[in-house]
Amino acid sequence: MPTELDRRAFLQSAAVATVAAATGARTALAQSDAPSAARPVVIASANGTNATAKAADMIASGADPLDAVVAGVGLVEADPNDHSVGLGGLPNEDGVVELDASVMHGPTHRAGAVAALRNIVHPAAVAQRVLERTDHVLLVGEGALRFARAHGFPETELLTDEARRIWLHWKETHSERDDWIAPPAGDKAQSWLQHVQTFTYGTINCCAVDAAGNVAGVTTTSGLSYKIPGRVGDSPIIGAGLYVDNAVGAAGATGRGEAVILNAGSFSVVEQMRGGLAPQDACLAVLKRISDRTKDPRLLDANGKPNYQVYFYAITRDGRYGSAAMWSNFGRRAEFSIYAAGRNRTEDAACLYEGRPA
């Protein structure tokens, strides 16, 4: 006999099917709606393939899922070639790298976060220390740096030469109403010019569930490139860029943080899963809500759809997973990293809208 939960899940799936029909939302069939007997499952943004592999390995060796995901994203934070996070992250408009990160641990329902943190390669590890060694959830700016120093985190110049050149190119070319002069054409190699003109919200989120169904997550980022100094995105805001509930699962976000904050994005995804939606459908439902609530003409394309990208990544405590993006190809194909059933790989994310903004 169907339970109330079954009935709600059926009604909500029908609602998502209606959303999909109305928007042309693409579902990605490879994503898993079946409980996985083969936990651990670790999900991450597309730049997190090394992170999912490392975290899964650690969990298989008995590590707590929080230690595992923080160690996993640490590989990306330390990679100078990833300009979205940690060392080599793109700086604020003054050329200073400011990092945001949060962690959340399902079994204890505790969280820690840092925002606008300078000079520390591993903000996620500092966020974990906030969780473990303070009675607070979020430390910002100078206070976060002093806390990191107190715990012995080494200070490092995070602005690599390549990131400085990208920022300088942006600074010299983004306006003709200042005194900076653009460099000569062909001045620089093309490989990094792609980063210059578009603002980027690159970030890494990674969530994991172990064999016992314990869940944890982390989100870490250098935030919006060329931001106003002090700007804080969704990544360190519990409920926005990350949320974990050990009774349900976990969700995280990347992309335009302001949109995710305004819709309590990751919390909303977890609540949709609590209500019975599968992870991918929960991600799509919240993307639809964000799209519907985007009213500012500045943020709409020629067809009235959001002109920005947002991704959600979600897992359940029984090992189901899914991811969805606002757009299927916003400069790059919408994908995510996943370790499940003993294999580490990338899969296509579902999308609310095909293609890119008009």
- Which residue is it, tokens 């302001």? 258
| 208-236 residues labelled b (16+ CB within 10 A) or e (exposed) | bbbeebbbbbbbbbbbbbbbeeebbbbbb
Catalytic choice (203, 219, 221, 294): 203
Q: Name which of residues 69 to 108 contact ligand GLY (CB under 6 A).
A: none
* Distance in Å, CB of 238 to ligand GLY, minimum: 14
CB-CB contact of 45 with 200 (8 Å): no
113: how many CB neighbours lie within 10 A of its CB? 31
Contacts with ligand GLY, 214-233, as mask; x by CB under 6 A: -------x-xx--------x
CB-CB contact of 73 with 202 (8 Å): no
Smaller CB separation from ligand GLY, 309 or 344: 309
CB-CB contact of 223 with 201 (8 Å): yes
* Distance in Å, CB of 222 to ligand GLY, minimum: 8
Contacts with ligand GLY, 167-206, as mask; x by CB under 6 A: ----------------------------------x-x---
Q: Is 203 considered catalytic here?
A: yes
Smaller CB separation from ligand GLY, 234 or 335: 234
- Which residue is it, tokens 């189901």? 320
Smaller CB separation from ligand GLY, 255 or 279: 255
Stretch binding ligand GLY (CB under 6 A), from 23-31, 234-242, 267-275, 297-305: 234-242
Collapsing DSSP states into helix, strand and coil, what is residue 337?
strand
Size of the site for ligand GLY (CB under 6 A): 13
Q: Can residue 235 be called a binding residue for ligand GLY (CB under 6 A)?
A: yes
Collapsing DSSP states into helix, strand and coil, what is residue 216?
strand
CA–CA separation, 170 vs 58, rounded Å? Answer: 40
Q: Which of 234, 335, 347, 348 binds ligand GLY (CB under 6 A)?
A: 234
Q: Can residue 280 be called a binding residue for ligand GLY (CB under 6 A)?
A: no
CA–CA separation, 73 vs 61, rounded Å? Answer: 18
Smaller CB separation from ligand GLY, 266 or 344: 266
Contacts with ligand GLY, 241-260, as mask; x by CB under 6 A: x------------xxxx---
Smaller CB separation from ligand GLY, 226 or 278: 226
Phi-psi region of 341 (alpha: psi -120 to 50; beta: other; left: phi over 0): left
- Report the catalytic residues: 203
